[in-house]
Homo-oligomer: A and B are copies of this chain.
Amino acid sequence: APAAGPQDLLIAVKAESDAAAGEALARVDALLQVRRTGGEQDFRPRSLASALKMLPEARWVLISVPGRHAAGVAEEALDHGRNVFLYSDNVPIESEVALKRKARERGLLVLGPDCGTAVIGGMRFGFANRVRRGPVGLIGASGTGLQAVMSHLHTLGSGISQAIGTGGRDLAAEVGGITALQALDLLRRDPETEVIVLISKPPAREVAARLLGLARSAGKPVVVYFLGAPLPGRRIGNLRFAASLSEAAELAIQIPAVPGVPGVPVSGHLRGLFSGGTLAQEVLLGLSAVLPPESYQILDLGDDEYTVGRLHPMIDQDLRLRLLRQEAADPQISLILLDVVLGEGSHADPAGELAPAIEEARSRRPELEVAALVIGTDEDPQDLRHQIETLERAGARVFRTAGELVDFATQRLPESEESGKPVPLEPVRGAINVGLESFYDSLVAQGTPAVQVEWKPPAGGNETLAAILARMKSA
């Protein structure tokens, strides 16, 4: 048995007979049992360490102490190998980063700080609605957002497998989405989860791309709702983009649990040489949602900087042809995107001009791919069918909407990065609560074995003394 610490309860039994001693010990065991199964807890440990000795199977620690003390308690929980539900706010972002990095190394989760809601293995932490279990796994950087989605899913007759809150800052650049990435990895391995829903305020751009890049290869449909961010389309591979919390829930139950074509890791970069500004922007919006920023570049050749002293590229393709040859010769480039806009006023045969350049490039570098977005109708003067056939004969893939082009271009994913030690899938057998009583009451009401820590600020709130104690402890 581990050595007893100063916070431990030592029970010494001095009995008149072995039978009496056995009876007394049985009574002690029964009392401890009551604590573990969630009856009224009459003994309250004053430290996390002793709480964990009382309920060693507790894999989760709920923390809602004032912000300046929260990181310390959370770190202690991680050091004990426990996951953390961190309701406290006003935790410095540096502490959040340090905690989450430590958690990632150890295959643990830190939900929060400022995480209001989580449902793990059917157990509700913090604010959470009572919803039936079901096939939808939620990840949310927003508490009431998660609640709105889980409630709506329930109302629609479905249910959730897990709801993993990450805290509102998790997708900021500093934190880099550590928890959301772990949660995504967890849910893609979770056999109970058939569809994943990911909701958040707009993430930092590079974090969003990393997260959706991973989601793109989850092997399950992922519904994404970034409140207040532009949608990169309605669908990219297995990703569906929602425009509201309620729509996120609706999409999750409408779409069949069959993922789109999985992403394939491809090295090399992507170049777009566009004549239509809006088309360039729409494609860029889609690519930037899932690809790392350094892997693509889209040029709008109709932009002022390219048209000084030159006709519009929808009329005159000379510059585009020159750039096409140049990019095609660059061994770094593995995919070139083009648009071809037909109709009144446009070049009389754009495909006829592009085809020889495409053919030549592909004969020199057969691994190079070319994809073209063709905008036009069967009544346009350039002959739509002929234009498409000319491009296809030259070896280009032809698409008719920006969404389809983006879908194709983003099947080529960057190699996925190391995401730390995987978080094990395990049932919730108990939890320790440090802070708000109501969270403890809620655990007990749900039948979760739980222990409430009688927490006091270190050194009675005296910060100087607390610092000295912390130094002594770590020495």
A interface residues (Cβ-Cβ under 8 A, vs B): 89-90, 116, 124, 126-132, 142-145, 147-148, 150-152, 154-155, 168, 199, 201-202, 227-234, 241, 243-247, 275-279, 281-282, 285, 302, 304, 307, 312, 314-315, 339, 341-346, 375-381, 400-403, 438-439, 442, 445-446
Nearest 3 Cβ contacts at the A-B interface: A144-B276, A145-B278, A129-B343
Q: Do A375 and B279 touch (CB < 8 A)? A: no
Q: Which residue of B lies closest to A281 (CB)?
A: B227
A-B contact pairs, 7 of them (CB 8 A): A127-B345, A145-B276, A147-B341, A154-B377, A199-B278, A228-B285, A241-B243
Give every chain B residue within 8 A of A150 (Cβ-Cβ): 377
Q: A148-B278, A234-B244 are in contact. Are A127 and B344 (CB under 8 A)?
A: yes
Give every chain B residue within 8 A of A438 (Cβ-Cβ): 315, 345
Taken together, the copies of this chain in the complex come to 2
CB distance from A448 to the nearest CB of B (A): 11
Q: Do B143 and A278 touch (CB < 8 A)? A: yes
Q: Which residue of B lies closest to A226 (CB)?
A: B230
Q: A144-B276, A154-B377, A285-B228 are in contact. Are A402 and B244 (CB under 8 A)?
A: yes
Please measure, in the bound complex, the distance between the C-alpha atom of A234 and the C-alpha atom of B251, giving whole angstroms.
12
Q: Do B442 and A152 touch (CB < 8 A)? A: no
Give every chain B residue within 8 A of A276 (Cβ-Cβ): 143-145, 147-148
CB distance from A169 to the nearest CB of B (A): 13
Please measure, in the bound complex, the distance between the C-alpha atom of A119 and the C-alpha atom of B130, giving whole angstroms.
55
Give every chain B residue within 8 A of A307 (Cβ-Cβ): 89
Please measure, in the bound complex, the distance between the C-alpha atom of A60 and the C-alpha atom of B38, giving whole angstroms.
81
Q: Do A244 and B401 touch (CB < 8 A)? A: yes
Give every chain B residue within 8 A of A341 (Cβ-Cβ): 127, 144, 147
Please measure, in the bound complex, the distance between the C-alpha atom of A243 and the C-alpha atom of B158, giving whole angstroms.
26
Q: Do A345 and B442 touch (CB < 8 A)? A: yes
Please measure, in the bound complex, the distance between the C-alpha atom of A377 and the C-alpha atom of B133, giving whole angstroms.
13
Give every chain B residue within 8 A of A144 (Cβ-Cβ): 275-279, 302, 314, 339, 341, 375
CB distance from A309 to the nearest CB of B (A): 11
Q: Do B282 and A245 touch (CB < 8 A)? A: yes
Given contacts A124-B345, A202-B230, A228-B281, 7 further A-B contacts (CB under 8 A): A128-B343, A143-B277, A144-B339, A144-B341, A148-B375, A201-B278, A227-B230
Give every chain B residue within 8 A of A201 (Cβ-Cβ): 278, 281
Q: Do A142 and B231 touch (CB < 8 A)? A: no
Give every chain B residue within 8 A of A90 (Cβ-Cβ): 304
Give every chain B residue within 8 A of A152 (Cβ-Cβ): 400-401
**Which has the most chain B C-beta neighbours within 10 Å: A116, A233, A244?**
A244
Q: Do A142 and B278 touch (CB < 8 A)? A: yes
Q: Do B228 and A439 touch (CB < 8 A)? A: no
Give every chain B residue within 8 A of A247 (Cβ-Cβ): 233-234, 403
Q: Do B244 and A377 touch (CB < 8 A)? A: no
Give every chain B residue within 8 A of A339 (Cβ-Cβ): 144
Q: Do B345 and A154 touch (CB < 8 A)? A: no
Please measure, in the bound complex, the distance between the C-alpha atom of A149 and the C-alpha atom of B142, giving whole angstroms.
36
